[in-house]
Amino acid sequence: MSNLKDNFFRIIDYLRVSVIDRCNLRCIYCMPTDGITTERHDEILSYEEILRVLRIGARLGVRKVRITGGEPLMRKNITFLIDSIKSIPEIEDLSMTTNGVLLNKYAHELAHAGLDRVNVSIDSLIPERYKQITRGGDLDVVLNGLASAEKAGLDPLKINMVPVSGLNDDEILDFAKLTFNTNVQVRFIELMPSGSVDFWDPDKYITTDQIRSTIESLAPLTPVRLRRHGPAKYYRMKGAKGIIGFISAITHHFCEDCNRIRLTADGKIRPCLFSETEIDLKTALRTDASDLEIERLLRLSVEAKPKGHSLDELHQNPPREYDKHVKSSLITNHLMKRPMSKIGG
């Protein structure tokens, strides 16, 4: 049982670690149009620093680790990190979220190093559209990566899809149908207000309820209980092998069950994705702080977790009823100051 308990009696046993703030894609809902400024190489935590945080975190009760980014497979020698995390005895579950571009190259090495699972982000199954959403990505490359991950035994394979109104929402059923014949988990994620003010607009986001009813027009959904389910709620379509998950950060937020904190690539602990509060670990790590001091900062980060977020303000009125001014001030208030690629989604 974790010793990390926040002020609202939530047990924190999950650390999401962003290992890089760079990416080889520039998805339109994640990155601002004019790109992001990235940190200098020496501002990014080294593997030794990340491993030190993880070892101390594990002593406090961290049991589950997800490696993310930016694009984690762009970080040199990533399999070394996976292998080293795997050797921390307390860590029971080690996964990665990737855009899959380099998965074909690394899937076997990653599995060999001890990675348990991957989530691959794909927002369209139409090559031209995929290219448009990712500003240049090649769908075939990612599908080859998925096939390699499956062959390498990175199981269960999860696909993350962010439906955006007028962009890819006509593909919700095509994604859902992927679960008919394979053991894949397809997870639909509500669009969150990050990236750029230009892109984010309440008119663009589709609620979980809307996604669900689109899928239910094809086949009824039966709830599935998983041992480790995190914030997603899972269902199976009648006759399907795989399952469908919904991550409803905005409309059915899951703050009461939140069990995670995040470590950004530049060494800040972010207690809540939707709060700008960050605790600086890097300075401590680079000024000879003792393990006890790092432990104190980790505990402080857990204590700094807010009870919840108020993003549902963006949803409470039907989006089209917002007047332009209210809408833009709401978006500005809620827009995350760091893009997702710099937090580690």
Q: Which of 26, 86, 236, 315 binds ligand SF4 (CB under 6 A)?
A: 26
Say whether residue 22 binds ligand SF4 (CB under 6 A).
Answer: no
Task: From residue 46, give the alpha-carbon distance in Å to each of 19, 76, 192, 265, 266.
Answer: 9, 11, 29, 9, 9
Task: Look at residue 192 and give the partner it binds from ligand SAM, ligand SF4, none, a contact being a CB closer than 5 to 8 Å depending on partner kind.
Answer: ligand SAM
Q: Which of 4, 17, 19, 30 binds ligand SF4 (CB under 6 A)?
A: 30
The CA distance from 23 to 234, in Å, is 29
Say whether residue 56 binds ligand SF4 (CB under 6 A).
Answer: no
Task: Look at residue 31 and give the partner it binds from ligand SAM, ligand SF4, none, a contact being a CB closer than 5 to 8 Å depending on partner kind.
Answer: ligand SF4
* Shortest Cβ 28–ligand SF4 spacing (Å): 9
Written as one letter, the residue type at 291 is D
Say whether residue 195 binds ligand SAM (CB under 6 A).
Answer: yes
Can you tell me whether residue 227 is helix, strand or coil? coil
Say whether residue 266 binds ligand SAM (CB under 6 A).
Answer: no
Say whether residue 163 binds ligand SF4 (CB under 6 A).
Answer: no
The CA distance from 15 to 65, in Å, is 5
User: Nearest-5° angle of CA 197, CA 199, CA 201?
Assistant: 80
* Shortest Cβ 88–ligand SF4 spacing (Å): 26
> DSSP character for 324?
H
Q: Which of 99, 124 has the CB closer to ligand SAM?
A: 99
Chain position carrying tokens 């505990």: 299
Q: Which of 19, 176, 192, 272 binds ligand SAM (CB under 6 A)?
A: 192
The CA distance from 6 to 27, in Å, is 34
* Shortest Cβ 199–ligand SAM spacing (Å): 8
Q: Which of 4, 20, 31, 206 binds ligand SF4 (CB under 6 A)?
A: 31
Written as one letter, the residue type at 3 is N
Asked if residue 215 lies in contact with residue 176, where contact means CB atoms within 8 angstroms, the answer is yes
Asked if residue 142 lies in contact with residue 101, where contact means CB atoms within 8 angstroms, the answer is yes
Say whether residue 160 binds ligand SF4 (CB under 6 A).
Answer: no
Count Cβ atoms below 10 Å from residue 175 Cβ, excluding itself.
Answer: 23
Residue nearest to ligand SAM (CB): 345
User: Nearest-5° angle of CA 264, CA 265, CA 270?
Assistant: 10
Q: Which of 27, 73, 221, 297 binds ligand SF4 (CB under 6 A)?
A: 27
Say whether residue 123 binds ligand SF4 (CB under 6 A).
Answer: no
Which tokens sit at 198? 């230009």
Positions touching ligand SAM (CB under 6 A) are: 23, 29-30, 68-69, 71, 97-99, 121, 160, 162, 189, 191-192, 194-195, 340-341, 345
Positions touching ligand SF4 (CB under 6 A) are: 23, 25-27, 30-31, 69-71, 99, 121, 340-341
